[in-house]
């Protein structure tokens, strides 16, 4: 039995006027299979949850273009929130 390769096409793509992938209001890319990817200024980024949610339910946590495990992402966003409170 052969596996078919699924090719994903963006059904929505948000970017700046200069062509940098970016959205302040939700995912910057929504694929035809329902997968979503959040970008800020061209970098995978989401301070409120996973930056990538694939159609199969798997998730990736990114902050400022850096990949994190879910636990490390929670710690990083908590650290940043605390440092902003202290400033």
Please tell me the distance from the alpha carbon of residue 63 to that of residue 69, in angstroms, as a whole number.
11
Look at residue 7 in the predicted model and tell me its pLDDT: 64
Please tell me the distance from the alpha carbon of residue 23 to that of residue 68, in angstroms, as a whole number.
20
In-domain check, residue 64: yes
User: CA 41, 78, 50, 30 torsion: positive or negative?
Assistant: negative
Which token pair is 78?
């908590």
Please tell me the distance from the alpha carbon of residue 43 to that of residue 3, in angstroms, as a whole number.
32
In-domain check, residue 1: no
Q: DSSP letter string over the chain?
A: -PPPPPPP-EEEE-B-TTS-B--SSS-SEEETTS-EE-EETTEE--SSS-SEE-TTS-EEEEETTEEE-HHHHHHHHHHHHHHHHH-
Q: 86 or 50: whose pLDDT is higher?
A: 50
In this prediction, residue 63 has a pLDDT band, given cuts at 50, 70 and 90, of very high
In-domain check, residue 25: yes
In-domain check, residue 40: yes
pLDDT digits (tens, 9 = 90+) for 9-22: 899 999 999 999 99
The rounded mean pLDDT for the chain is: 91
Look at residue 81 in the predicted model and tell me its pLDDT: 86
Look at residue 1 in the predicted model and tell me its pLDDT: 47
In-domain check, residue 3: no
């Amino acid at each position: 039995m052969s596996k078919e390769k699924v090719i994903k096409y963006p059904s929505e793509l948000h970017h700046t006027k200069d062509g940098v992938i970016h959205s302040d209001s939700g995912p910057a890319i929504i694929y035809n299979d329902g997968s979503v990817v959040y970008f800020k200024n061209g970098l995978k980024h989401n301070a409120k949850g996973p930056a990538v949610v694939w159609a199969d339910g798997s998730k990736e946590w990114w902050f400022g273009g850096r990949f994190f495990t879910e636990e490390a992402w929670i710690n990083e966003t908590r650290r940043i929130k605390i440092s902003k409170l202290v400033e």
